[in-house]
Amino acid sequence: MNEPDILGASLARSGISRRSFLKFCTAMASLMALPPSAAYAMADALKRAQRQSVIWLSFQECTGCVESLTRSFDPTLEQLIFEMISLDYQETLQAASGEAAESARKQAMKASYGKYLLIVDGSIPTKDGGVYSTVAGVSNHDLLVEAAKGAAAIVAVGTCSSFGGIPHANPNPTGAVSVSDIIKDKPIMNVPGCPPIPSVIAGVLAYFITYGKLPELDNLNRPKVFFADTIHDRCYRRPFYDQGKFAKTFDDEGARNGWCLYELGCKGPTTYNACATIKWNGGVSFPIESGHGCLGCSEPNFWDKGSFYKPLPVPLADNTPIITAAALGGIAVGTAAAVISRKHQTSISEEK
């Protein structure tokens, strides 16, 4: 009989020292806003845990979500998170293909039935019987329903699987929907972004493996620890916003001085994500720091909210006077927009 694949033994085989492992757990605990003592609890729990079986399904997507994780600039983090899981099926990363790949998926689902973590990236086409995206002749819809039955929980990675994303944009020719539009009887966590931040994906996986459950979620099923604040709340350009200093073009003096990009269409005031704090490329930068406004890609229906280069109002047609009045009154437009956006998101959640 095969011995269970214990994570501690797997890490030891890979030459990862206890010191390195504790450093990783400390970073993960900090990332998830857990108390310092949680790092040791996480290390102990992870060391004793069996490697988490993960089935990763890709549907209507661009592979950007997988690329985001695999192109992490922190190899230690990347190596550790992949040592934590047994990635039993992922079309892009696995060596097997064709019938061998599908056989591996079915075997893994059977062996870990009720225990595996199902990760999904990409939206699910429903029009015309779902013919617009199939795997081995099976529609994405049917494959999702089959895989969800034996999953302990589901993580929708990326805006497409979380909210429908770009395939869902008007006129939505394939009838694209999100995972939560189809699956109603499983715990689902959305990790939106086009693509999501690698460390966010790693953090939520580490949390699930440690505690056997999903972290606390907001009204759109996003992990609060990463999606509680708007990008505007944490943006390093916020002081310029408060001083009324705005770049008027992408190459003017204001832009060269790092002034706020609000008037160039930045959607930071209505976008909830950790880009401004965790950043990208190993913490080097994020779009605003690189000179371009936030597109709001981690929000529902971001593609249909008008031009990326026109200033807000927020995505509610009747709120323009409110935003304008707030600006004229010297009140932070970003704060007003964020409050209205949060109320709008609550209505979206209630409608679902």
- Please provide the DSSP assignment of 290-304 as one string: TT-----TTSTTGGG
Q: What is the dihedral of CA 165, 167, 171, 176, to 10 degrees?
A: -90
Predicted pLDDT at 103? 92
297 known ligand binder: yes
Task: Please report which confidence band the pLDDT of residue 4 belongs to, taking 50, 70 and 90 as the band edges.
Answer: low
Residue with tokens 């807000």: 312
Tell me if the bond preceding 223 is cis, omega within 30° of 0: no
Quick: pLDDT tens for 20-68. Answer: 777 777 776 776 667 777 777 777 776 766 778 899 999 999 998 888 8
CATH architecture label of 238-316: Irregular (4.10)
Percentage with pLDDT > 90 across the chain: 55
Choice among 95-99, 110-114, 166-170, 335-339 with the minimum mean pLDDT: 335-339
Choice among 75-84, 214-223, 244-253, 321-330 with the minimum mean pLDDT: 321-330
Dist CA 148 CA 171 (whole Å) = 28
- Tell which wins on pLDDT, 156 or 324: 156
- pLDDT at 106 > cutoff 80: yes
Residue 271, C-beta contacts closer than 8 angstroms, at least 6 positions apart: 230, 231, 232, 294, 296, 297, 298, 299
- Tell which wins on pLDDT, 342 or 235: 235
Coil/strand/helix, residue 241: helix
Percentage with pLDDT > 70 across the chain: 78
Give me the count of residues in the chain. 352
**φ, ψ at 58 (rounded to 5°):** -115, 125
Dist CA 31 CA 74 (whole Å) = 14
Q: Is the full-model pTM beyond 0.95?
A: no
How many CB atoms are located within 10 Å of the residue 37 CB? 9
Dist CA 26 CA 201 (whole Å) = 16
- pLDDT at 328 > cutoff 50: no
DSSP state of 251: T
Do 7-227 and 238-316 agree at the fold level? no
CATH architecture label of 7-227: 3-Layer(aba) Sandwich (3.40)
- pLDDT at 71 > cutoff 80: no
25 known ligand binder: no
266 known ligand binder: yes
β-bridge mates for residue 58, sequence order = 121
The ranges assigned to domains in the chain are 7-227, 238-316
